[in-house]
Structure 1
Amino acid sequence: MILTILGWIVFGLIVGFIARALVPGKDDIGILPTIGLGILGSVVGGLVFSLFSGRIELSNPLGWIGSVIFAIILLIIYNRVTGRKRARR
């Protein structure tokens, strides 16, 4: 149980950082929102894209791609709603 939770936290952190790296500009969010963004993107995107392949498992490449895509979408929505996005200098 603890290892599962730690796995989701690490996975969420990785996906969140990838999403933040792919969205242009500086994101003024901390590590906890990044983890939350990655976990939420992983749950939604990983499930949706895994359904296309018929396999729901962590090693599914479509699940990883879906996780990052949905995390990017969530990050863009978050930045629009909060107005926290600044241009890089």
Structure 2
Amino acid sequence: MSALWWQYAVIAVLVAASTLYMLRKLAPSAAWRWQALLAAWLLRRGSVRWQALGRRLLPPRASGGCAGGACDGCGDSGDAQPPLEQKVTFHRRR
């Protein structure tokens, strides 16, 4: 039974990685907040290594405006992407 510990460790790492991936895909704002909180906590630590890890984990700043990629267009430029949702209309049979 003691030889199986590495299998449990591998499974735990895979479950943790898939949970983090799912969180970042389904709730990006919450994942960004938690990443920023973890980075801020690491930056407050006394060790230089923890602070370096905290600087690496800092999420990128959200930049607003048209140049920052904050949206897909505000209607001013002609190269705006069409919306992903499209209106569906049903027609009656005759």
TM category, shorter? 0.3 to 0.5
Query: Relative to total residues, which structure has the larger helix share, 1 or 2?
Result: 1
Query: Considering only CA atoms, is the larger Rg found in Structure 1 or Structure 2?
Result: 2
> Which of 1 and 2 has higher RCO (CA within 8 Å, sep 6+)?
1
Q: With structure 2 as the length reference, what TM-score do the two structures score? A: 0.33
